[in-house]
Amino acid sequence: MMEPRFSRRGFLVGAGGATALGAGGVAFDGAHAPAAAQEGGLPDYAAWKDADALIIHSRNTMETKRGAVGSGGLTASDRLFIRNNLPSPDASITADPDAWEIAIEGVARPGTMTLGQLKRLGVTSEASVLQCSGNGRGFFTHGASGSQWLTGAAGCVIWTGVPVAAIVEAMGGPAEGATLMTSTGGETLPDGVDPASIMVERSVPIAAHAHAMIAFEMNGAPLPLTHGGPARVVIPGYYGVNNVKYVKRLAFGTQESGAKIQTSGYRVRPVGEGGAASQPSMWDMTVKSWVTHPLTDPGSGRVQIHGVAFAGPERASGVAVSLDGGQSWEQARFYGPDLGRFAWRSFVMEADLAPGVYAVASRATAEGGSVQPEDFPPNERGYGHNGWRAHAVELTVA
Amino acid sequence: MPRPVAAMAAGLAVAAGVAMADDLAEGRRLFVEGTEPACAICHSLADAGAEGEIGPSLDELRPDAARVARAVRGGVGVMPAFQETLSEDQIAAIAAYVARAAGGG
């Protein structure tokens, strides 16, 4: 039997993160508790979601509880997190998905096509991880603004859509010298605000278009408004913000979008600094994993410890699990179908646990050799946290 | 129903002195119309009669003053940063007002 060996800085406890401690051992700021929003329940546009599986941070931000992302490789649609930068448009836009219009610009023969027309050009399907740039923000202790996501602003789903490459080819290829693909969202903007200051428009390196699609289905059902229906851009391996919802324009060119969300938003910089275009943009995701079960006392004896691991644009190649806060590691095993390099893998490690306290951590490795780091440096907006230590779970076995 | 700021200010004047009540009134003014764009365009806050729907409802979020000040200084998501257009005193006044009006401290 594995004996508990445990002495450590701070660990995240339990399913709801009730007594969450950051790496510095500082108690989680009570003001960030989502209780207020929880009282209100689910807003209309998300009424079909499984509220019991979600932590509701606000009307436009809800994450999947740590133990609820699913252990079969895919996340159920009604449990998938929601993160809307702006309120979603009226539900009427999903009434006739094929009539939705998307302007394609920066190609040899630009034009506006309906989703119905685009569907004639090709079809593809990909399982991929959708993860918010700020997933894990709640594990930082420097008080970054925004939703205090723990592990649940991420899920793995199957998208079906029209390959962007097929669209570009049908329209004569990208404009000469194009280096970027820019997607514009169809949200309604309020009066009295400069559109560029709040519109959702994101540019990514043009290479990303090889795997990108205009998705119209998620997990085998028409893409709901809640997740960007009737059509959204999906760029496997890229952070959520680049997967623009209700997409109404796709453009190829050399100029990054002038929208604030591109120029100064979603930029990684030191704590205290403002955002600027010179700083790294939240584009491709990094190698990451976390344990999803057990999160509360499983009782002593044999236990299956499982979790999820992925590596952004790469394939996750392995994951190690520690029961003693990283002093020793053992290789876990992937189980379930391999849904491709952009999907996450479920992993399991069997352990015989004697009564005691365990610090259960997981550490993923990517095919290219990069390894999930122990810590991730605090940054102004609390982006990109993949440090295994802060994602560890303290387990007390009675 | 919105709690009128005057009543709130009057209550506070007794509790914490007139200067603070003035700051709260100034915080409310800034919230409603004193920034570009105005907080009220994007947020709802009953006390200020604000019904913006772009950002979270502050009545639901109930942020404390530190959280408001951080968001106002640096911006969040599509919310702009105001550290270049507002003084620290103005940010403190907005933060104190929002925290108080939303019930977050």
What ipTM describes this predicted complex?
A: 0.74
> Hey, what CATH topology would domain A285-397 get?
Immunoglobulin-like (2.60.40)
Distance CA B84, CA A275 (A): 13
Which letter does DSSP use for residue B15 in this model? H
Q: Is residue B19 less than 8 Å (CB to CB) from chain A?
A: no
- Domain ranges in chain A with CATH number 3.90.420.10: 85-263
Nearest C-alpha of chain A: how many angstroms from B77?
A: 6
Place of tokens 């420097």: A142
Dump the DSSP string for A218-253: ETTEEPPGGGTTT-EEE-TTB-GGGS-SSEEEEEEE
Q: Which of residues A106 and A16 earns the better pLDDT score?
A: A106
The answer to whether the CB of B42 falls within 8 A of the CB of B56 is no
- pLDDT-above-70 percentage for chain A: 90
Q: For residue B92, what is the enclosing H or E element?
A: helix B88-102
Predicted pLDDT of residue A28 = 30
DSSP A209: G
Beta bridge partners of residue B79, listed in sequence order: B76
In the prediction, which pLDDT does B104 show? 81
Question: Start-end ranges of CATH 2.60.40.650 in chain A?
Answer: 285-397
Which residue segments constitute the domains of chain B, with CATH numbers given?
16-25+36-102 (1.10.760.10)
Sheet architecture: strand order including A12-13: A12-13, A393-397, A356-366, A316-322, A330-331
d(CA A214, CA A203): 15
Report pLDDT for A266. 94
As a dihedral over the C-alpha atoms of residue A173, residue A177, residue A180, residue A184, rounded to 10 degrees, the angle is -60
Mean pLDDT score, A378-389: 97
Listed residue (A396, A306, A291, A389) closest to A349, CA to CA:
A306
Contacts of B53 in chain A (CB under 8 A): 87, 190
Which residue among B38, B67, B81 places its CB closest to the CB of A31? B67
Write out chain A residues lying below 8 Å of B104, CB-based.
31
Q: Which range among A38-42, A72-76, A388-392, B77-81 shows the weakest confidence by mean pLDDT? A: A38-42
pLDDT, average across residues A112-127? 98
Question: For residue B37, is pLDDT > 70?
Answer: yes
What is the structure's pLDDT at A284? 96
CATH T-level assignment (fold) for domain A85-263: Sulfite Oxidase; Chain A, domain 2 (3.90.420)
3-state helix, strand, coil in chain B (%, to 5): 60, 5, 30
> B66 CB near a chain A CB, below 8 Å?
yes
Instruction: Please give the residue that has the higher pLDDT: either A12 or A290.
Output: A290
Q: Which of A91, A81, A48, A50 is nearest to A149 (CA)?
A: A81
Confidence of residue A95 (pLDDT cuts 50, 70, 90): very high
Q: What is the DSSP letter of A14?
A: S
| Listed residue (A137, A155, A186, A162) closest to A73, CA to CA | A155
Mean pLDDT of A110-126: 98
Task: Kindly state whether B32 is in contact with chain A, defined as any CB-CB distance less than 8 angstroms.
Answer: no
Which among A31, A59, A194 is the nearest to B104, CB-wise?
A31
pLDDT above 80: residue A254: yes
pLDDT for A16: 36
Using the predicted structure, report yes or no on whether residue A303 has a pLDDT greater than 50.
yes
B89 touches chain A (CB under 8 A): no
A37–chain B Cβ distance below 8 A for any pair: yes
- The better pLDDT of the pair A196, A166 is held by A166
- At A269, the amino acid letter reads R
Return the pLDDT at A305.
98
Least confident of A11-25, A331-345, A384-398: A11-25
Query: Residue A192's pLDDT band (boundaries 50, 70, 90)?
Result: confident
Contact status, residue A209 vs residue A247, Cβ threshold 8 Å: no
The residue ranking higher by pLDDT, B6 or A226, is A226
Structural contact between residues A166 and A381, judged by C-beta atoms closer than 8 angstroms: no
The pLDDT value recorded for residue A311 is 98
Query: Has residue B8 got a pLDDT over 60?
Result: no
Strand stretches in chain B, DSSP E: 44-45, 50-51
HEC string of A303-318 equals EEEEEEEEECCECEEE
Beta strands in A281-353 (DSSP E): 288-293, 301-310, 316-322, 330-331, 333-335, 345-353
Helix (H, G, I), strand (E, B) or coil at B51: strand
Contact status, residue B72 vs residue B82, Cβ threshold 8 Å: yes
Mean pLDDT of chain A: 90
Q: What does chain A come to in residues?
A: 398
pLDDT band at A40 (very low <50, low <70, confident <90, very high): low
Residue A25: pLDDT band with limits 50, 70, 90: very low
Query: pLDDT digit string (tens) for A314-363?
Result: 999 999 999 999 999 999 999 999 999 999 999 999 999 999 999 999 99
Q: What per-residue confidence (pLDDT) applies to B18?
A: 57
Please state the separation of Cα A103 from the chain's center in Å. 27
**In whole angstroms, what is the distance from residue A79 CA to residue A64 CA?**
6
Predicted confidence band at A197 (pLDDT cuts at 50, 70, 90)?
A: confident
> Is A176 near chain B, with CB under 8 Å?
no
pTM score:
0.88
Q: According to the model, what pLDDT value does residue B19 have?
A: 58
Report the alpha-carbon distance of residue A98 to residue A222 in Å, rounded: 11
Interface mutation vs chain A, best among B78, B79, B98, most A CBs within 10 Å: B78
Question: Band of the pLDDT at A190, cuts 50, 70, 90?
Answer: confident
